[in-house]
């Protein structure tokens, strides 16, 4: 599958999207892992933890390598 967001593409991030609601499966989110930021799609929710995947799964650094991401590490919802 082709990636929805290409490397170097500019996207809008709604940092307030999850103040009154929870991230949902299929949302594309910006999150922080260590000192880097990533854009991935939520594919599974488990309490306040999220399994994230890139749309191009054959060539994606995602939850298969770094595990579940906590809600506190999600910066916001990406708008394409």
Segments making up each domain of the chain, as ranges: 12-79
Q: What pTM value is reported for the model?
A: 0.89
Q: What secondary structure, in 3-state letters, does 7-49 show?
A: CCCCCEEECCCCCCCCCCCCCEEEEEECCEEEEEEEEEEECCE
74-79 vs 12-14, strand pairing mode = antiparallel
Residues 14-41 have a mean pLDDT of 95
Q: What percent of the chain has pLDDT over 90?
A: 68
Of 68, 74, 63, 1, which is closest to residue 37 (Cα–Cα)? 74
> Looking at domain 12-79, which CATH architecture does it have?
Ribbon (2.10)
Q: What percent of the chain has pLDDT over 70?
A: 98
Residue 45: CB partners within 8 Å, gap ≥ 6?
22, 23, 24, 25, 51
57 pLDDT more than 80: no
Q: How many Å apart are CA 54 and CA 38, to the nearest integer?
A: 10
1 pLDDT more than 70: no
Q: Do residues 29 and 74 touch, judged by C-beta distance below 8 A?
A: yes
| 25 vs 58, residue with greater confidence | 25
């Amino acid at each position: 599958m082709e990636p929805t967001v290409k490397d170097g593409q500019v996207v809008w991030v709604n940092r307030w999207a999850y103040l009154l609601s929870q991230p949902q499966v299929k949302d594309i989110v910006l999150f922080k892992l260590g000192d880097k930021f990533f854009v991935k799609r939520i594919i599974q929710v488990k309490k306040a933890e999220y399994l994230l995947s890139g749309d191009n799964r054959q060539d994606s650094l995602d939850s298969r390598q770094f595990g579940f991401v906590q809600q506190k590490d999600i910066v916001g919802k990406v708008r394409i």
